[in-house]
């Protein structure tokens, strides 16, 4: 799961002479259409955009469906800020000119600008089928793949782009992002460092490099990179937020004044940037024990960001209900043992911010265990139809061979990360939704459910700006109701899964009795005890979650009962949790 809001975007790059690049010949246009079209191109080059649009529209009436006119119109729409109409124009042009790669490239750019990344990827791919060496389409394809979580394909696209133009900045940035998301942080670091060697004033590259360094526990080095990013781009709140989260604030902290100054001029920021800024200020004021100020900014940041993301509560609860209906105790008993025999996977599940990263870090400190972080393999296999075409509704009709295939595909991808490991931990918290499927597909797998006080869990979620997939966390009522639904689903799994399949760990017990709980975790995984599990903070591995720095420290208890400092403002959450 991407941890930060991506700033490598598929921006529409338009040149005024674009229409001239794709026009067939004047002979293909009638005299009236040709005159209108040439006039439109001239007006376009003179930046008289409104007049150019009207001429393109008139030319289109004279010669309906002509790809050059449609493309010129699309470019003008982009210049005028009407990207929806631009996409429609480019789509029509692509249909009229099936052999033109350039039109498809611009269609991809506009679709990406609209956030329609799957469609954008298809457009870029079609451009590359026509013209395999079209560099801009390779970059666009890689960026669209990044946006849709197709990180291996993104890596391949950027690698091909770099073969054509070595050290090209956007390709190196994209490659680093893809590698980072694939858990290959050492390689990602090299990509960012290579970019900075050529362009030391690239603020985004310093920010990305800081993120990778932080994952390795190199807090001071990460802090320096974030500081450099802020100095180069002082009005970008994402860089300020990264710097804010790199170390606790203390009285007189030099990082606070620039944040407050930025807040006084936030009218110049986009809504996304405003959300970043408010979360950064909330972190600062929380560290300084200015809880009222901190919560005020949390409310503002969450309210703004909630308006930017989709979340349909009824659909989520309907899905949970269907899971309960399908995965009964009888259904699970009837198919138990039909899956793949691998006993390598260990699933750590629960709510975000519940202690799953700490549990993974303890286990990953054992020499026989590899911590894989948060893997989307389960989701990928479900979306690809390997759990049924309409999972979970048609799961009962899934053949046993397909169930075994699901487990085999998952195990193969996981074991490829660490072929020699006896156990590999996938700590994607949201896998709690699929415990029935995963148990049947992988009957030898281990399942660890981490629980934490509901108010502490939810407040911690509300205080963080996630990248994607956790859109229920930006409203206290929605967050509390989601927690209740999660709690009900976990009660269902306790009732229907065979005894001993799932181990439950309370975060509060873990921090109160580290050795006792760590021994219980290791024994559950059928491993011999190793003292290194108690020194989890010394493990030299990349940790790619929002708890990446916390698990670099010896155990602390200050997060227990944290909600009490904010009790006065949490009534909507408490009401939803009842």
Q: Which pLDDT tens digit goes with each residue over 342-379?
A: 999 999 999 999 999 999 999 999 999 999 999 999 99
Determine the pLDDT at residue 554: 61
Q: How far apart are CA 513 and CA 572, in angstroms?
A: 33
In the predicted model, is pLDDT for residue 26 greater than 90? no
Q: Copy the structure tokens of residue 50.
A: 């409104």
The candidate with the shortest Cα–Cα distance to 2, out of 152, 175, 182, is 182
Q: How far apart are CA 127 and CA 136, in angstroms?
A: 10
SS3 500: coil
Q: How far apart are CA 423 and CA 417, in angstroms?
A: 11
Q: How far apart are CA 58 and CA 76, in angstroms?
A: 14
In the predicted model, is pLDDT for residue 166 greater than 80? yes
Q: How far apart are CA 56 and CA 52, in angstroms?
A: 6
Q: pLDDT band for position 27 (50/70/90)? A: very low
Q: Copy the structure tokens of residue 495.
A: 């009732």
Q: How far apart are CA 475 and CA 254, in angstroms?
A: 31
Long-range contacts of 59-66, Cβ-Cβ distance < 8 Å, separation of 24 or more: 59/29, 59/33, 62/30, 62/32, 62/33, 62/36, 63/29, 63/30, 63/33, 63/37, 65/92, 65/96, 66/28, 66/29, 66/33, 66/37, 66/96
316-328: pLDDT as tens digits: 999 999 999 999 9
415-426: pLDDT as tens digits: 999 999 999 999
Q: Taking a C-beta distance cutoff of 8 angstroms, is the pair 344, 411 a contact?
A: yes
Q: pLDDT band for position 192 (50/70/90)? A: very high
Q: What angle do CA 446, 183, 501 make, to 5 degrees?
A: 5
Q: 449: which strand partners?
A: 349, 504
Structure-model confidence comparison of residues 272 and 149, the more confident one? 272
380 CB neighbour count, 10 Å cutoff:
15
Q: Taking a C-beta distance cutoff of 8 angstroms, is the pair 155, 32 a contact?
A: no
Q: Where in the chain is the domain with CATH 1.25.40.10?
A: 1-149
Q: What is the crossing angle of helices 67-79 and 101-113, to 10°?
A: 30
Q: How far apart are CA 204 and CA 207, in angstroms?
A: 5
Q: Taking a C-beta distance cutoff of 8 angstroms, is the pair 462, 359 a contact?
A: no
42 CB neighbour count, 10 Å cutoff:
13
Ranges 309-318, 375-384, 533-542: which has the least confidence: 533-542
In the predicted model, is pLDDT for residue 148 greater than 70? yes
Q: How far apart are CA 47 and CA 507, in angstroms?
A: 62
3-class SS letters over 216-256: CCCHHHHHHHHHHHHHHCCCCHHHHHHHHCCCCCCCCCCCH
In the predicted model, is pLDDT for residue 487 greater than 60? yes
Q: Copy the structure tokens of residue 170.
A: 């956007």
Q: Where in the chain is the domain with CATH 3.40.50.300?
A: 315-577
**pTM metric for this prediction:** 0.84
Q: Taking a C-beta distance cutoff of 8 angstroms, is the pair 467, 272 a contact?
A: no
Q: Taking a C-beta distance cutoff of 8 angstroms, is the pair 180, 208 a contact?
A: yes
Q: What is the mean pLDDT of residues 269-275?
A: 96
Determine the pLDDT at residue 556: 63
Q: What is the mean pLDDT of residues 268-289?
A: 97
Phi-psi region of 328 (alpha: psi -120 to 50; beta: other; left: phi over 0): beta
In the predicted model, is pLDDT for residue 19 greater than 50? no
How many angstroms from the chain centroid is the CA of residue 117? 13
How many angstroms from the chain centroid is the CA of residue 74? 30
Q: What is the mean pLDDT of residues 111-120?
A: 95
Pick the CATH number of 1-149 from 1.25.40.10, 3.40.50.300, 3.40.30.10, 3.90.320.10: 1.25.40.10
In the predicted model, is pLDDT for residue 14 greater than 50? no
How many angstroms from the chain centroid is the CA of residue 234? 25
In the predicted model, is pLDDT for residue 226 greater than 70? yes
> What is the residue-averaged pLDDT of the chain?
91
Ranges 127-131, 330-334, 537-541: which has the least confidence: 537-541
Q: How far apart are CA 59 and CA 37, in angstroms?
A: 6
User: Strand 369-371's sheet: what is its strand order?
Assistant: 369-371, 423-426, 345-350, 446-451, 502-506
Give the whole-number percent of the chain exceeding pLDDT 90: 86
- Second CATH level (architecture) for the domain 315-577: 3-Layer(aba) Sandwich (3.40)
Rounded to whole angstroms, the maximal C-alpha distance in the chain is: 87
DSSP 341-403: ----EEEEEESTTSSHHHHHHHHHTSTTEEE--S--HHHHHHHTTBTBTTTTTTGGGS-HHHH
In the predicted model, is pLDDT for residue 5 greater than 50? no
Q: Taking a C-beta distance cutoff of 8 angstroms, is the pair 525, 502 a contact?
A: no
């Amino acid at each position: 799961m991407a941890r930060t809001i991506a700033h490598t975007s598929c921006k529409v790059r338009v040149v005024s002479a674009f229409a001239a690049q794709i026009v067939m010949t004047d002979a293909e246009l009638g005299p009236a259409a040709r005159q209108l079209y040439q006039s439109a191109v001239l007006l376009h080059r003179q930046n008289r955009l409104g007049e150019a649009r009207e001429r393109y529209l008139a030319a289109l009436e004279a010669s309906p469906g002509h790809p050059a006119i449609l493309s010129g119109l699309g470019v003008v729409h982009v210049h005028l800020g009407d990207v929806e109409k631009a996409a429609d124009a480019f789509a029509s042009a692509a249909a009229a000119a099936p052999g033109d790669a350039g039109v498809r490239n611009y269609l991809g750019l506009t679709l990406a600008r609209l956030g329609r990344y799957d469609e954008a990827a298809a457009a870029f791919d079609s451009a590359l089928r026509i013209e395999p060496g079209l560099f801009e389409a390779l970059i666009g394809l890689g960026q669209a793949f990044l946006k849709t979580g197709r990180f291996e394909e993104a890596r391949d696209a950027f690698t091909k782009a770099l073969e054509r133009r070595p050290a090209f900045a956007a390709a190196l940035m994209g490659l680093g992002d893809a590698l980072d998301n694939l858990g290959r942080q050492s390689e990602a670091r090299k990509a960012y460092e290579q970019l900075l060697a050529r362009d030391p004033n690239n603020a985004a590259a310093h920010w990305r490099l800081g993120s990778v360094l932080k994952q390795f526990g190199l807090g001071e080095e990460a802090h320096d990179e974030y500081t450099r990013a802020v100095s180069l781009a002082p009005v970008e709140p994402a860089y300020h937020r990264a710097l804010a989260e790199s170390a606790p604030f203390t009285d007189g902290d030099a990082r606070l004044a620039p944040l407050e100054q930025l807040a006084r001029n936030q009218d110049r920021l986009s809504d996304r940037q405003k959300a970043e800024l408010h979360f950064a200020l909330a972190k600062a004021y929380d560290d300084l024990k200015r809880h009222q100020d901190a919560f005020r900014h949390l409310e503002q940041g969450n309210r703004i960001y909630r308006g930017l993301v989709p979340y349909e509560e009824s659909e989520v609860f309907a899905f949970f209900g269907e899971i309960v209906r399908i995965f009964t105790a009888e259904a699970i008993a009837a198919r138990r043992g039909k899956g793949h025999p691998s006993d390598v996977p260990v699933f750590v599940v629960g709510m975000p911010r519940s202690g799953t990263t700490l549990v993974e870090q303890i286990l990953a400190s054992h020499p026989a265990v590899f911590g894989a972080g948060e893997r989307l393999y389960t989701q990928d296999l479900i979306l690809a139809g390997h759990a049924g075409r309409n999972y979970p509704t048609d799961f009962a009709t899934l053949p046993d061979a397909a169930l075994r295939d699901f487990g085999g595909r998952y195990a193969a991808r996981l074991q490829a990360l660490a072929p020699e490991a006896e156990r590999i931990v996938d700590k994607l918290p949201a896998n709690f939704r699929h415990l029935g499927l995963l148990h049947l597909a992988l009957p030898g797998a281990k399942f660890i459910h981490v629980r934490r006080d509901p108010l502490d869990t939810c407040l911690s979620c509300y205080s963080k700006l996630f990248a994607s997939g956790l859109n229920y966390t930006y409203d206290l009522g929605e967050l509390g109701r989601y927690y209740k639904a999660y709690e009900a689903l976990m009660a269902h799994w306790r009732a229907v899964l065979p005894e001993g399949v799932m181990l439950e760990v309370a975060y509060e017990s873990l921090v109160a009795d580290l050795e006792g709980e760590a021994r219980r975790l290791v024994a559950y995984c059928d491993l011999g005890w190793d003292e290194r599990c108690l020194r989890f903070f010394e493990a030299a591995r990349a940790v790619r979650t929002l708890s990446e720095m916390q698990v670099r420290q010896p155990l602390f208890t200050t997060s227990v009962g944290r909600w009490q400092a904010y009790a006065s403002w949490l009534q909507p959450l408490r009401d939803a949790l009842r």
